[in-house]
Amino acid sequence: MPIDDNKGIIDRQKVVRKLELDKCREELATLQTRFNVGELPAGAYLERSKALLEKIAILEKEVNNIPISMIDRFKKNRALFTIIGVVLFGLLLCGTIILLVPSTGSGVGNIAPDFVMQLSDDNSRALSSFRGNTVVLVFWDRDFWDDQFFYVNGVERKLYIPDKLNQLYQKSGGKDPAIIAIASGASSSDIEHLVKDYEISFPVIGDMSGKLRSSYNISYEPTLVFLDKNGIIRARVEGPVTTLSDLEQAVLAVSTGARVNPSVPPISDVIVQSNNEKSAVVNWSTSQPSTTQVDIDGKNIQTVITAAPVTLHSLTIADLDPGASYHIRILYNINNINVSEHSFSALGDTVISKRFLATTSSKETSYPEISGAGTSSVTDSAMLITWKTDEPATGEVDYGLDRNYRDTTSQGNSLSIWHTVKIDNLLPETQYYLKLRSKDASGKESTQELQPAKTQSIVDIGPFIGKRAPDFTLTSLDGSKYSLSQFLGRKVLLNFWLEGCPACEAEMPLLQATFDKYGRDDVIILAANVRGDVDKVRLFIDTQGLTFPVLLDTEGIADSLYTPPAFPTTFFIDSTGIIRDIQDQRFQTTSEIDDALGKLDCCK
């Protein structure tokens, strides 16, 4: 812009300021006259005249080309700034209110979705009418009330029954907490039988349509949803609460605003995908290595049996009817104790944990997408390769001393989204080239090359700190076989104990507390009983309610490899199989175990 044009703009602005200045001076003179003749109160005159004098002083500076400070600008436009401030404050306040007020939803921190329930006395009541009380909602598939329904791994099992909830309800007088059970798929006659058979005191309502189950996003049976006195969801516990004390502690935590420890879902990562019109593949994970059982529509029971208990499971379901819907349940038990029966249902086409599985004839057009690939737990002779695919697929690793990849190992022909392949019999201090391959059900294969990985130098085998832990295979109380080498990639607490040894038995509750505390995918607890009477060992374990694997070293195989100096003795083994610490006396507190675990790699 030309300089003359800039000068013209400035001159015009001065003219405007001069006219505004003259107007303010006239208004001040008029104000003075009105005050002198008594038309204007002193307070009003002083307030208005002060504002005019401040504005006149600022205008005079502008007219005379004197720089104006920020304070002067604020005084001149006091009213405008005040309005802007009020508007901004209002917007901020509204935003804060929106952020602080919970929305309705099924997650922790949300207001629980409201619903109206029909009670047994023909009265109806809304969930929101329980405000002022802590509320426990129990979502419970009708079939899981029946103690004659399932055979788990060939053994008739008694499932979760409402005795603990009944005790809590009667203890509280039915007031606080309020307990409401939602029986999925139960009719009014079903509910009448349930209430009568189990002498249930708290309200039980049916959910034939599955609408409530869906609105609370229920994937496990049972699931307990805890609401505080304001109707806000404070905790969700998936799976049965085993003792009345645990249930009372959870209710107390919710009512006092304390944190409820989240449960570890015993079964997770369930994906069902149709191969074609007549078959489908089910993949899932379990929190502990175990054989599992799949029940399809309560009729077709299939047990998934592996050479050793695993945490990643897969099953192909054949002879399906095109376009039909199927109800699937996955169950498993540890040490002959049913610790996690849960109801799972899923839609086809890789939808996780929904209500039904529908077969489809649509053709697969995409390739599996590989992500999160890497090596871990590298030793002098082995390494783990892990990755994930966005759809169920096979998992293979090609490897070799160069990119010709002369050798191949795989996790089998099963389809899964999680892949862990162990490569054995490698040379020490040697670099290996690696390539992943995953093929989906339609035969489409994806590959990915990894950075070369070098094995460690040779480590001697022996029962000493810094040595590689000797491998062994033992049978557990439930008949499963455990090899130490199968836990490469996870930290292992290997405990040697004797049946009838007071120090050994006194230590067991601490091991159980540690087992409950740490994620089972990270820390494995193996308690090897040396040359004990199997029946007495089983009685002790059942009496104590211990759920970690108890191995039977009846012939002293592991004992001769480790030669523990005393009983109990515990070996702490890192994820590469190296012994990092040895405790040759009983633990007094769980913190002592935590300290020893802290010496292992990647401990949490």
SS in 3 state form for 169-233? HHHCCCCCCEEEEEEECCCHHHHHHHHHHCCCCCCEEEECCCHHHHHCCCCCCCEEEEECCCCEE
| Same domain flag for 556 and 489 | yes
For residue 263, being part of any structural domain is answered with no
| Same domain flag for 146 and 236 | yes
Q: Which residue has the higher pLDDT, 545 or 150?
A: 545
| Same domain flag for 298 and 412 | no
Q: How distant, in Å, are the alpha carbons of 38, 48, 54, 178, 443 from that of 42?
A: 9, 10, 18, 66, 93
What totals of helices (H) and strands (E) does the chain contain, helices first? 12, 33
Cβ contacts of 454 within 8 Å, gap of 6 or more: 378, 429, 430, 431, 432
DSSP-derived pairing of the beta strands 204-207 and 178-184: parallel
Q: pLDDT of 365-387, one tens digit each? A: 578 889 888 898 899 999 989 88
| Same domain flag for 487 and 565 | yes
What is the rounded distance in angstroms from the CA atom of residue 292 to the CA atom of residue 269? 15
Q: Is the pLDDT of residue 235 over 90?
A: no
Q: Is the pLDDT of residue 588 over 90?
A: yes
152-174 per-residue burial string, b: 16 or more CB within 10 A, e: under 16: bbeeebebbbbebbbebbeebee
3-class DSSP state for residue 521? coil
> Do 370 and 438 meet the contact criterion of CB atoms below 8 Å apart?
yes
Q: Which residue has the higher pLDDT, 303 or 544?
A: 544
For residue 94, being part of any structural domain is answered with no
Which pLDDT does position 253 carry in this prediction?
87
Q: Which residue has the higher pLDDT, 598 or 273?
A: 598
Which pLDDT does position 289 carry in this prediction?
66
> Do 549 and 541 meet the contact criterion of CB atoms below 8 Å apart?
no
Which pLDDT does position 430 carry in this prediction?
96
Mean pLDDT of 516-534: 85
3-class DSSP state for residue 253? helix
| Same domain flag for 385 and 305 | no
Q: Is the pLDDT of residue 362 over 50?
A: no
Q: Give how many domains the chain has, as a whole number.
A: 5
Which pLDDT does position 91 carry in this prediction?
63
In the beta sheet, which residues pair with residue 194? none
For residue 267, being part of any structural domain is answered with no
What is the rounded distance in angstroms from the CA atom of residue 101 to the CA atom of residue 91? 15
Which pLDDT does position 435 carry in this prediction?
95
For residue 161, being part of any structural domain is answered with yes
| Same domain flag for 590 and 523 | yes
Which pLDDT does position 411 carry in this prediction?
79
Q: pLDDT of 98-155, one tens digit each? A: 445 578 888 888 899 998 887 666 677 889 888 888 999 988 766 555 444 445 445 5
Domain, as residue range, for 415: 370-454
Mean pLDDT of 252-257: 85
Among 565, 555, 567, 543, CA closest to 495: 567
> Do 467 and 439 meet the contact criterion of CB atoms below 8 Å apart?
no
| Same domain flag for 423 and 384 | yes
Q: Is the pLDDT of residue 388 over 70?
A: yes
Q: How distant, in Å, are the alpha carbons of 310, 417, 601 from that of 440?
A: 22, 10, 35
**Most confident range, picked from 103-117, 177-191, 347-361:** 103-117
| Same domain flag for 516 and 561 | yes
Among residues 424, 454, 484, the one where a domain terminates is: 454
Q: Which residue has the higher pLDDT, 10 or 153?
A: 10
Q: Report percent pLDDT > 70 for the chain.
A: 69
Q: Is the pLDDT of residue 66 over 60?
A: no
Q: pLDDT of 113-125, one tens digit each? A: 998 887 666 677 8
| Same domain flag for 26 and 136 | no
CATH no. for residue 314? 2.60.40.10
CATH no. for residue 554? 3.40.30.10
**Most confident range, picked from 17-21, 171-175, 333-337, 497-501:** 497-501
| Same domain flag for 328 and 214 | no
Q: Is the pLDDT of residue 280 over 80?
A: no
For residue 73, being part of any structural domain is answered with no
For residue 64, being part of any structural domain is answered with yes
| Same domain flag for 517 and 556 | yes
Mean pLDDT of 499-527: 87
Which pLDDT does position 357 carry in this prediction?
37
Q: Is the pLDDT of residue 505 over 70?
A: yes
Mean pLDDT of 478-507: 91
Which pLDDT does position 341 carry in this prediction?
44
Mean pLDDT of 40-65: 74
For residue 111, being part of any structural domain is answered with no
What is the rounded distance in angstroms from the CA atom of residue 39 to the CA atom of residue 183? 80
Which pLDDT does position 273 carry in this prediction?
64
Q: How confident is the model at residue 321 (pLDDT cuts 50, 70, 90)?
A: low
For residue 535, being part of any structural domain is answered with yes
| Same domain flag for 189 and 280 | no
- Output the pTM of the full model: 0.46
In the beta sheet, which residues pair with residue 286? 267
